[in-house]
Amino acid sequence: MTRRTLHPGKRMLHAGLLIITGLLLIQGYTLWKLPGSWILAAGQPINDTLFYGLLALLTLVIVIPAMDLMMSWRLPQAQLERQLNHNLSIDKWITVTLTVAHDFPRPVELQLFDHVPDSCDFEGLPATVTVQPGHRSLVSYQLQPRRRGSLTLDRVDVKVTSLWGFWQLQQTHPVATSVKVFPDFASVVDYQLLAVDHQNSQLGIHHKQRRGEGMDFHQLREYRRGDSLRQIDWKATSHRQKLISREYQEERDQQVILLLDGGRRMLTREGKSSHFDHCLNCLLMLSYIALRQGDSVSMMSFGAANRYMSAIKGASNINRLINQFYDFYPDKSAPDYLEAARELMQRHRKRSLVVLTTNLRDEDSDDILNAVKLLKKCHLVLVANLREESLDQTLAQPVHSFDEAVIYAGINDYLHERRQLQKRLQAQGVFFADCTPSQLTAQVINRYLAIKQAGYL
């Protein structure tokens, strides 16, 4: 239901000044005529043109705004609609369009303000538009969501000046629009050709050619220098009277399981994004490339309220994975790596590549080692361990004071403990990537490609 409120306009403020001035003049005139009295004595005749002229003017100044309010209050309401894409990307500017029309008998200047949630930035509000009778006008502004998940725009305020300009009438229209804010997956679409070529200098993804066994047969071709003797197809060579080699491609139809830490350490922020957002973007990119490679992908979170996505195949199904995790956020709970490993083992017994993104501490060593030992019974394990960029930045600064030396030594001690934990995990046969959030996607994808090309699965 549309709600109306009333605010004085500029003319009403001027009228108010006139009313106050008129009252003061009348009161001054009264004191001049009747010294010592603050009001006219009952029945006291005052036949003075100035006095009655001021009184009439005061009455007129009061009556006209009142009449303006009565006539303007009955004006019909404006009609509003909102148009925008229902699937948005975080931190991306989009255009929101408001369509406005009215049944007023005259052109009306309207001021519009869309109630944008606190989780969004905007530009171009409030917006002013002059709407002609019987016509529809469009007003646009820019919106930038800064948080993933559901987003609701529920109402629009419309301000219209009254007929004679004494009042500002504000109509609050319930115009509800619900949209979804997803991770910025546009980069995945931009790099979809690279999912085949595996080459991108910006991401740091590289592809290394490998010839030999342990790969799926792709095609026959002429022999090239560097091909092994085992690649030569002697039957085809005899038939064509020249050396013919078999060409292989990475094995397909393998399984990748993505394990996403939703614990308290993922709340750490690097710039605008948290560690969790960096991990989620990385795993979405990896899942898209894996699906393009013909592998199946599953995804499971732990730490916060657990979510699970069963195995999917085909790059066209990436939207199912995104819809399952787009509004998932970490909480302040401690990650339980061993419990997550047990749940994963119950769901998946077929040999797979398990990719875990997390931020390990020395106190996690026993839990993560036990979890890895359990997973290694059936699976290959790749652990991507995030490192705060502020640590590298601090170590790169010169040391000038005792306090800076203490901080420098503390960071080195912390990084030494991380390296020791990394060695213990690698001794268990775990693939490991220690990287900052900006390096995460490239390093994880390179590890995945290297594992596939080496035929470990």
Sequential pLDDT tens for the chain (457 residues) = 566 666 665 666 665 665 666 556 555 656 555 554 444 444 444 445 555 555 566 666 666 667 767 666 666 677 889 999 888 888 889 999 999 887 777 777 888 899 999 889 999 988 888 888 878 888 999 999 989 999 999 899 888 777 666 677 788 888 999 999 988 766 554 554 344 344 444 445 444 444 444 455 567 778 787 777 777 888 888 888 888 887 765 555 789 999 999 988 898 888 778 899 999 989 998 998 899 888 999 999 998 778 899 999 988 888 899 899 989 999 888 889 999 999 999 998 889 999 999 998 888 888 999 999 999 999 999 999 999 888 888 888 898 889 889 998 998 898 888 889 989 999 988 999 999 988 898 889 989 988 888 777 7
The β-bridge partners of 356 are: 259, 383
The beta strands (E) that lie in 361-412 are given as 380-386
List the one residue out of 82, 20, 88, 31 whose CA is nearest residue 54: 20
CA distance 261 to 334: 10
Q: What is the pLDDT of residue 209?
A: 46
Report, at the CATH architecture level, how domain 186-192+200-206+252-454 is classified.
3-Layer(aba) Sandwich (3.40)
CA distance 317 to 302: 23
| H-run or E-run covering 145 | strand 136-145
CA distance 106 to 125: 25
The beta strands (E) that lie in 23-135 are given as 79-83, 87-89, 94-101, 108-114, 120-123, 127-131
The β-bridge partners of 156 are: 114, 173
CA distance 411 to 391: 7
CB 68 within 8 A of CB 91: no
Q: 215 exposed, middle or buried (CB, 10 Å; 0-12, 13-18, 19+)?
A: middle
Q: Which residue has the tokens 């007023």?
A: 104
Q: What is the pLDDT of residue 39?
A: 47
Contacts of 285 (CB under 8 A, 6+ apart): 187, 188, 191, 441, 445
List the one residue out of 10, 12, 18, 8 whose CA is nearest residue 58: 18
Q: What is the pLDDT of residue 123?
A: 92
pTM over 0.95: no
Q: 144 exposed, middle or buried (CB, 10 Å; 0-12, 13-18, 19+)?
A: middle
Segments making up each domain of the chain, as ranges: 9-73, 79-182, 186-192+200-206+252-454, 216-249
Alpha carbon 108 to its chain's center: 37
Report which residue type is found at 198.
H
CATH 2.60.120.260 for domain 79-182, yes or no, is no
Q: What is the pLDDT of residue 41?
A: 44
Q: What is the pLDDT of residue 57?
A: 60
Report which residue type is found at 115.
H
Q: What is the pLDDT of residue 335?
A: 87
